[in-house]
Amino acid sequence: MAAPRLHVRKIMNHENEAMQMLYKTGVCTTKQLEEYFNIKAPRLKKLCHSEYLKQSRGKVWLNKKGINHLKKLGMEYRYKTSIRNVDHDLRLAEKYLSFDKETRKTWKTETQLRHEAKQHPAYKKFRDRIQNLYTNGGQSKIHATPDAAVYSQEHGGYIAIEITTRNYKDIDILQKIEFSRVFLSGYTQD
């Protein structure tokens, strides 16, 4: 009897959807992969062995081959995750998964929102105003871009999503609200 194959030959649609979620939120749990995308432990092990994903302590991230695979499919603006922000990013993944598939398709990452804002004619004026109002004249870093945004039919525009932690200061939240008013629809959601 032949030994079981350890490598993935083909990425299935539900696996693409899971990797797209990881591209947009940074991390998820093995339980979320199974519950929302039907990726069970044996298949996850193969995806990890094939370097599409990496797993540690029940958490899953994209690996280099997964990132390259999604870039080949045309994805841009990957959410920048960090091992220091795992709890924050897990809450972001929860929020992503709370939306229906159509709304998930409209999800914009913090990276994409920042890129689009910088292309906007009002960005320089916005940046200068934020620095003067919220950062003591530019002495501290601007934290104005929300974690994500999704399109809302009801509001006719994008709604900002921000996952707050106890490390957030009121000034950080005010910057994100201001960003939403200028570059999105003016609506925010925690």
CATH 1.10.10 in the chain, residue ranges:
1-98
Write the pLDDT tens digit of every residue in 82-97: 878 899 999 999 999 9
Distance (Å, whole) CA 85 – CA 27: 10
Write the pLDDT tens digit of every residue in 48-102: 999 999 999 999 999 999 999 999 999 999 998 887 889 999 999 999 999 999 9
The whole model's pTM is what?
Answer: 0.88
Write the pLDDT tens digit of every residue in 104-152: 999 999 999 999 999 988 898 888 888 887 666 555 567 789 999 999 9
Query: Do 81 and 67 form a contact (C-beta atoms < 8 A)?
Result: no
Checking if the pLDDT of 172 tops 90, the result is: no
Query: Do 30 and 44 form a contact (C-beta atoms < 8 A)?
Result: yes
Q: In what order do the strands lie in the sheet with 28-29?
A: 28-29, 59-62, 53-56
- The DSSP secondary structure of the chain, one letter per residue, reads -PPPP-S-S---HHHHHHHHHHHHHS-EEHHHHHHHH---HHHHHHHHHTTSEEEETTEEEE-HHHHHHHHHTT--------GGGHHHHHHHHHHHHHS-HHHHHT-EEHHHHHHHHHHSTTHHHHHHHHHHHHSTTTTS----S-SEEEEETTTTEEEEE----TT--HHHHHHHHHHHHHHS-SEEE-
At residue 186, the pLDDT reads 58
Higher pLDDT, 3 or 141: 141
CATH class of 1-98: mainly alpha
At residue 130, the pLDDT reads 83
Q: Which of 5, 76, 91 is nearest to 43 (CA)?
A: 5
